């Protein structure tokens, strides 16, 4: 009897192994294709979103183009690794009802693949036309488009998508307001003071302390969700650790870099404007990442630029170009949604495919 049971168990294991191998081979091409188009999508993000984020710093000659590429490479990697999980969970599972795909994992995989394809194509077109579009728009629109084609309107979590729509409007408004307040305060108490150079260099370590401390606190807070030890330590560890490290960096800057900057830096209003635009945009983006809201860095950057520009009067803005950018945001979402719905449906509803059954 034991020999029979062992033989049956071995045969069952062999069947399961063959089935798993066949299943993996069936979807293996999707993995390869997703890697390729994921790389193309990342290139599109670098050419658009990252370029938008560093445009003000490079144009003000605060950093060179090569320096911006190096900084972006390091910070993009750290941001994705340390704070990207919350936004990723929203993108992959909260905008559509994934339970409707429990018995059809291949359909969900193919839909996500076509989302990458459509988003990469739209980003390439936007880059060719030099439009500062939102990569968040493209991937959200792609996923919504494929799910509409696959399962209909009931497959979309419209409340979650609605929150994202609101954030697309709220993020540039909040960033613009924050940038305007930052710049007005800086201009009032630093740039127009009797000794703007000295005040700027003296207060810069304080800005480092606040900005880096806030970022590190959020990193530790997010890490606590996956690390039981950090979670157990709680805020008593996160707050002192985050702001303690930022305090150390601020002190190092004050004693070692400030004397060098006093000799080399020539303060310019333009550089101060661009720095405050970036500060306001990064502040909103980090808070949104902390809350798991996939906001658009492009819209935050544009909002910050508009907010600072309006302080000098409406003559500082190009309304036609701003309108072109806004229409590009809306058009990107609608275009990628329709294109991906068509690409997905072309294969999914083909007569020979039978819905991948």
pLDDT in tens, 219-250: 777 666 656 666 677 777 777 887 888 888 88
How many separate helices (H) and strands (E) can be counted in the chain?
13, 0
- pLDDT at position 338, please? 92
Contact (Cβ atoms closer than 8 angstroms) between residue 206 and residue 249:
no
- pLDDT at position 2, please? 44
Task: Name the H helices within 292-354.
Answer: 297-311, 319-348
What CA–CA distance (Å, rounded) separates 197 from 200?
Answer: 5
Q: What is the pLDDT of residues 122-135, one digit of tens each?
A: 888 888 887 777 77
User: What's the pLDDT band for 200 if we cut at 50, 70, 90?
Assistant: confident
Burial class (CB in 10 A: 0-12, 13-18, 19+), 235: exposed
Beta bridge partners of 156: 96
User: What's the pLDDT band for 69 if we cut at 50, 70, 90?
Assistant: confident
Q: What is the pLDDT of residues 330-357, one digit of tens each?
A: 888 888 999 999 989 888 887 765 555 5
What CA–CA distance (Å, rounded) separates 67 from 199?
Answer: 26
DSSP single-letter state for residue 46: I
CA distances from 72 to 69, 293, 342 (A): 5, 21, 34
Q: What is the pLDDT of residues 264-311, one digit of tens each?
A: 555 444 455 555 555 666 666 666 666 666 666 777 777 777 877 777
Name which residue leads in pLDDT, 135 or 70.
70
- pLDDT at position 148, please? 92
- pLDDT at position 4, please? 45
What CA–CA distance (Å, rounded) separates 312 from 308?
Answer: 8
pTM of the full predicted structure? Answer: 0.71
Q: Is 96 strand, coil or helix?
A: strand
Q: Is the C-alpha dihedral spanning 324, 326, 331, 336 positive or negative?
A: positive
- pLDDT at position 341, please? 92
Contact (Cβ atoms closer than 8 angstroms) between residue 343 and residue 147:
no
Q: Which residues contact 96 (CB under 8 A, 6 or more apart)?
A: 143, 144, 147, 151, 155, 156, 157
Asked if the model's pLDDT at residue 87 lies above 50, the reply is yes
- pLDDT at position 16, please? 43
Q: What is the pLDDT of residues 129-169, one digit of tens each?
A: 877 777 777 888 899 999 999 898 998 888 878 877 777 77
- pLDDT at position 209, please? 80
What CA–CA distance (Å, rounded) separates 229 from 181?
Answer: 39
Angle among Cα 295, 301, 303 to the nearest 5 degrees reads 90
Residue 26: how many other CB atoms lie within 10 Å: 11
Q: Is 156 strand, coil or helix?
A: strand
What CA–CA distance (Å, rounded) separates 217 from 240?
Answer: 9
What CA–CA distance (Å, rounded) separates 227 from 221?
Answer: 10
Percent of the chain past pLDDT 90, that is, above it, reads 4
User: What's the pLDDT band for 1 if we cut at 50, 70, 90?
Assistant: very low
């Amino acid at each position: 009897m034991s020999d029979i049971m062992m033989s049956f168990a071995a045969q069952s294991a062999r069947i399961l192994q063959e089935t798993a191998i066949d299943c993996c081979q069936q979807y293996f091409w999707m993995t390869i294709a997703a890697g390729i188009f994921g790389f193309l999508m990342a290139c599109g993000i670098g050419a658009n979103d990252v370029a938008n984020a560093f445009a003000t710093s490079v144009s003000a000659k605060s950093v060179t183009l090569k320096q911006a590429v190096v900084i972006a490479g390091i910070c993009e990697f750290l941001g994705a690794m340390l704070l990207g999980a919350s936004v990723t969970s929203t993108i992959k599972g909260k905008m559509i009802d994934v339970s409707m795909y429990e018995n059809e994992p291949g359909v969900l995989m193919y839909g996500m693949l076509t989302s990458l394809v459509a988003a990469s194509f739209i980003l390439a077109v936007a880059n060719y036309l030099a439009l500062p579009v939102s990569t968040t728009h493209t991937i959200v629109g792609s996923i919504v488009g494929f799910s509409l084609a696959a399962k209909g309107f009931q497959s979309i979590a419209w409340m979650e998508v609605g929150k994202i729509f609101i954030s697309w409007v709220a993020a540039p408004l909040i960033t613009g307001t924050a940038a305007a307040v930052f710049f007005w305060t800086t201009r009032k108490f630093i740039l127009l003071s009797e000794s703007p150079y000295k005040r700027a260099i003296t207060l810069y370590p304080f800005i480092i302390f606040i900005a880096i401390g806030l970022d590190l606190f959020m990193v530790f807070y997010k890490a606590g969700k996956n690390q039981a030890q950090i979670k157990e330590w709680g805020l008593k560890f996160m707050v002192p650790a985050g702001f303690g490290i930022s305090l150390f960096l601020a002190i190092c800057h004050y004693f070692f870099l400030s004397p060098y900057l006093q000799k080399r830096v020539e303060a310019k209003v333009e550089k101060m404007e661009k720095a405050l635009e970036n500060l306001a945009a990064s502040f909103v983006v980090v808070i949104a990442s902390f809350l798991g809201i996939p906001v658009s860095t492009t819209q935050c950057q544009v909002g910050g630029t508009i907010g600072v520009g309006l302080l000098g009067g409406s003559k500082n803005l190009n309304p036609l170009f701003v309108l072109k950018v806004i229409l590009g945001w809306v058009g990107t979402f609608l275009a990628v949604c329709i294109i991906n719905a068509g690409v997905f449906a072309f294969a999914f509803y083909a007569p020979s495919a039978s819905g991948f059954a």
